[in-house]
């Protein structure tokens, strides 16, 4: 089924309806990159606190997760102008630690980039194989033919390669290209889903990421949409490499790839994740990160059953995948990335003990947890069933149970035999998400669960039917992942706050608007320094850099561009210190730089070698950095302080 129809069907099951094409929005090159998001504190009902969701709009398939120059990038299928599937864009978020995420402007946008901007993968061209420049990020998208887009600014904005020419066009209906590196042949590979002769994928090879040669086709009835192809060591042995080919639902086979053809002697697929798959399900379209610095295989997927007032859909928590031999068969095991420890704000632990129904129920009384992680290990003893009740209400009702059944040897309905006589259960519980891991990742199940449904639903309880031996238990409180939502690029490191005026995020940076003086201040202070930024006065009188300010900006120095007086001006409350004539053009970006040394203050304009203002004033020896607008609207970007 056409992907849009699949998603629409899922929406109808959820009680939603598809928007019409007229309700969607296509951008223009003048507006790119677009940042069409309302302000949010991410505290809306049902909004996950450590599962990424878009600041606003509809989210589905993960696209082109990759690492570049210290930053993790996740792109995703996105309608930023509505809460349902329509007119796909590529949304974008970044992280420096894999767990705290920051919303970025739109990466690929209809009206700016040609074709159907549907799911795809991306790579970092570290060796300049493409000739587009070392470190260029190349991503691939398009239906019924693959188009390339490339970024030379670290993955924030993209240009279309060769006017959108199709690099390959598989027979039949096709979509969802994923590109991977094959170290054995020193070539790039591309895998693309198509329905030519039935479900399957076409493989292509390339030495330059731009010219591709058909290599082979792998057919399988189960293999539908969003393929991934990743090389993994078996049991951690780098001398025993295997290739894993998977589809959108996480079904996969393990085999070999000779640079042209994929083959496997175990054609019956296994599951990566045991949550309900399919578009709009609990786990779909997982992709692995490219160019990982530590050779880990890390994946994120779309969870489609979470929605709120301003967003629809979230991504699963990133997991590390490993290939292990289990009962003689290579199997993928998945565990939360180790960086989850950075989210832990508090931990309670319990030592080994034997529990019956009463003592199990009493063990966690008084524990209050809203967003948290559970790590537990059990010996089943004679228990008929045991596990955790999550979101327990005062009347005994619970939002969700996670049960281990020793008789059927299943965890939450998924087969899981004990290892020795031990069973481990690990849970990630968020406001709209539950992720279950069993026996160190042999079971991995993702779910969307509404944990905001009951008063008092911030409780959890351990239960058992019969006796169970608890070997260890820890409950970790988890903080929020949001790594700051400003589009302002700066190196100050302090906290920004609005002292006055209206300050908001736009694709060009931080926008300030006021009918009088308005200040946006940073908690970082300085005495002698170089302070600079790009300043654009959109309308009104003046936009400026403020420095050596007190916390309310009652005392400060400010260097501005003043369209009314047609000057660059250095001033402080009560005195205009110096001016330089300038016919300020509205909408033009100026670069202001201030250098201070004691009483001496120099102001430079647009990278000039000579200051346009060189003055002395010893009234204010030091203070905070900030931005300023006066009777108008200004946009600020690339704010930097140097000693």
- Residue keyed to tokens 């201030």: 594
Distance CA 347, CA 477 (A): 6
Which residues of the chain does CATH 2.60.120.560 include?
A: 339-478, 496-642
Helix (H) or strand (E) holding 298: strand 297-307
The stretch 359-385 carries a mean pLDDT of 94
Work out the burial of residue 327: count CB atoms within 10 Å of its CB; fewer than 13 is exposed, 13-18 middle, 19 or more buried. Answer: exposed
The stretch 604-630 carries a mean pLDDT of 97
Count of C-beta atoms within a 10 Å radius of residue 616: 10
Give the architecture (CATH level 2) of 3-38+57-226+301-318.
Answer: 5 Propeller (2.115)
Of 3.40.50.300, 2.60.120.560, 3.40.50.620, 3.90.226.10, which CATH number belongs to 339-478? 2.60.120.560
Q: Per-residue pLDDT tens for 401-431? A: 999 999 999 999 999 999 999 999 999 999 9
Q: What pLDDT sits at residue 153?
A: 95
User: What's the per-residue H, E or C state across 12-33?
Assistant: HHCCCCCCCHHHCCCCCHHHCC
Query: Confidence band (pLDDT; 50, 70, 90) for 111?
Result: very high
Query: Which three-class secondary structure state does DSSP give residue 357?
Result: helix
Contact in structure between 167 and 147 (CB atoms under 8 Å): yes
- In Å, what is the CA distance from 374 to each residue of 250, 304, 364, 387? 25, 24, 12, 11
Query: Confidence band (pLDDT; 50, 70, 90) for 2?
Result: very low
Q: Per-residue pLDDT tens for 170-181? A: 999 999 999 999
pLDDT, mean over the chain: 93
Q: pTM for the complete prediction?
A: 0.83
Q: Per-residue pLDDT tens for 308-353? A: 999 999 999 999 999 999 999 999 999 999 999 999 999 999 999 9
Query: Confidence band (pLDDT; 50, 70, 90) for 395?
Result: confident
Q: What pLDDT sits at residue 41?
A: 86
Count of C-beta atoms within a 10 Å radius of residue 32: 18
The stretch 94-102 carries a mean pLDDT of 94
Active site residues per annotation: 61
Q: What pLDDT sits at residue 505?
A: 83
623: CB partners within 8 A, 6+ apart: 525, 526, 547, 548, 549, 550, 555, 556
Given a cut of 80, whether residue 359 has pLDDT beyond it is: yes
Q: What pLDDT sits at residue 9?
A: 40
Q: Per-residue pLDDT tens for 221-244? A: 999 999 999 999 999 999 999 999
- Among 155-159, 446-450, 484-488, 495-499, the least confident range: 484-488
Which residues of the chain does CATH 2.115.10.20 include?
A: 3-38+57-226+301-318
Q: Per-residue pLDDT tens for 261-285? A: 999 999 999 999 999 989 999 999 9
Q: What pLDDT sits at residue 482?
A: 87
Q: What pLDDT sits at residue 12?
A: 33
- Residue keyed to tokens 């939002």: 399
- Among 30-39, 126-135, 237-246, 549-558, the least confident range: 30-39
Given a cut of 70, whether residue 69 has pLDDT beyond it is: yes
Q: What pLDDT sits at residue 455?
A: 59
Q: What pLDDT sits at residue 393?
A: 77
Q: What pLDDT sits at residue 504?
A: 84
Distance CA 173, CA 418 (A): 44
Q: In the Cβ-directed half-sphere of 538, how many Cα atoms lie within 13 Å?
A: 14
Q: Quote the DSSP letter at residue 360.
A: H
Given a cut of 70, whether residue 133 has pLDDT beyond it is: yes
Q: Per-residue pLDDT tens for 144-158? A: 999 999 999 999 999
Give the architecture (CATH level 2) of 496-642.
Answer: Sandwich (2.60)
- Among 61-65, 433-437, 491-495, the least confident range: 491-495
Given a cut of 60, whether residue 18 has pLDDT beyond it is: no
The stretch 102-110 carries a mean pLDDT of 96
């Amino acid at each position: 089924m056409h992907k849009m129809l699949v998603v629409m069907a899922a929406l109808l099951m959820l009680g939603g309806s598809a928007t019409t094409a007229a309700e969607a929005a296509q951008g223009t090159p003048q507006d790119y990159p677009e940042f069409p998001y309302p302000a949010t504190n991410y505290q809306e009902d049902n909004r996950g606190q450590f599962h990424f969701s878009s600041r606003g709009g509809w989210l589905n398939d993960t696209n082109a997760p990759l690492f570049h120059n210290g930053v993790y990038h996740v792109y995703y299928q996105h309608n930023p102008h509505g809460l349902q599937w329509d007119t796909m864009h590529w949304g974008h978020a970044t992280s420096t630690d894999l767990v705290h995420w920051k919303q970025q402007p739109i990466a690929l946008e209809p009206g700016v980039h040609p074709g159907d901007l549907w799911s795809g993968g991306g790579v970092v061209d570290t060796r300049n194989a493409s000739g587009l420049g070392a470190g260029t990020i190349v991503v691939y998208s398009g239906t019924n033919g693959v188009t390339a887009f490339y970024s030379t600014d670290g993955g924030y904005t993209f240009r279309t390669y060769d006017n959108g020419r199709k690099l390959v066009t598989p027979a039949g209906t096709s979509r969802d290209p994923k590109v991977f590196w094959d170290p054995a042949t020193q070539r790039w590979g591309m895998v693309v889903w198509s329905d030519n002769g039935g479900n399957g994928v076409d493989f292509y090879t390339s030495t330059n990421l731009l010219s591709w040669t058909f290599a082979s086709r792998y057919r399988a009835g189960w293999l539908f949409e969003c393929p991934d192809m990743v090389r993994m060591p078996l049991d951690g042995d780098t001398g025993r490499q295997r290739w894993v080919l998977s589809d959108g639902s996480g079904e996969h086979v393990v085999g070999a790839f000779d640079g042209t053809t994929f083959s496997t002697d175990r054609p019956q697929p296994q599951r990566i994740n045991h949550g309900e798959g399919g578009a709009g399900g609990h786990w779909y379209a997982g992709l692995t990160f490219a160019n990982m610095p530590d050779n880990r295989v890390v994946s994120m997927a779309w969870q489609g059953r979470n929605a709120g007032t301003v967003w629809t859909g979230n991504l699963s928590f990133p997991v590390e995948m490993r290939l292990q031999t289990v009962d003689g068969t290579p199997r993928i095991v998945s565990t939360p990335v180790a960086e989850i420890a950075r989210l832990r704000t508090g931990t309670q632990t319990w030592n080994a003990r034997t529990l019956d129904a009463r003592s199990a129920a009493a063990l966690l009384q008084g524990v209050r947890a809203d967003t948290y992680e559970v790590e537990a290990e059990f010996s089943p003893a004679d228990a008929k069933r045991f596990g955790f009740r999550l979101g327990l209400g005062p009347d005994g009702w619970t939002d969700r149970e996670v049960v281990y059944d020793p008789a059927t040897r299943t965890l939450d309905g998924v087969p899981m035999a004990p290892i020795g006589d031990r069973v481990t259960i690990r849970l990630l519980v968020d406001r709209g998400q539950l992720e279950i891991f069993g026996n160190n990742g042999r079971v991995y199940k993702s779910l969307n669960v509404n944990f905001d449904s009951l008063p008092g639903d911030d409780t959890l309880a351990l239960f058992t039917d019969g006796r169970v031996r608890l070997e260890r238990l820890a409950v970790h409180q988890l903080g929020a992942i949001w790594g700051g939502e400003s589009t302002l690029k700066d190196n100050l490191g302090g906290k920004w706050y609005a002292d006055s005026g209206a300050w908001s995020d736009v694709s060009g940076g931080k926008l300030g608007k006021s009918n009088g003086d308005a200040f946006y201040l940073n908690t970082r202070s300085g005495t002698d320094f170089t302070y600079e930024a790009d300043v654009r006065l959109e309308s009104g009188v003046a936009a400026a850099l403020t420095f050596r300010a007190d916390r309310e900006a009652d005392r400060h120095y400010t260097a501005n561009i003043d369209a009314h007086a047609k000057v660059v001006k250095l001033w402080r409350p009560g005195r205009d210190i110096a001016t330089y004539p300038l016919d300020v053009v509205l909408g033009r970006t100026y670069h202001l730089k201030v250098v201070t040394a004691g009483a001496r203050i120099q102001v430079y304009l647009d990278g000039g070698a000579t200051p346009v203002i060189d003055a002395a004033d010893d009234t204010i020896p030091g203070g905070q950095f900030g931005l300023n607008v006066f009777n108008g609207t200004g946009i600020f970007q690339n704010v930097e302080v140097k000693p």
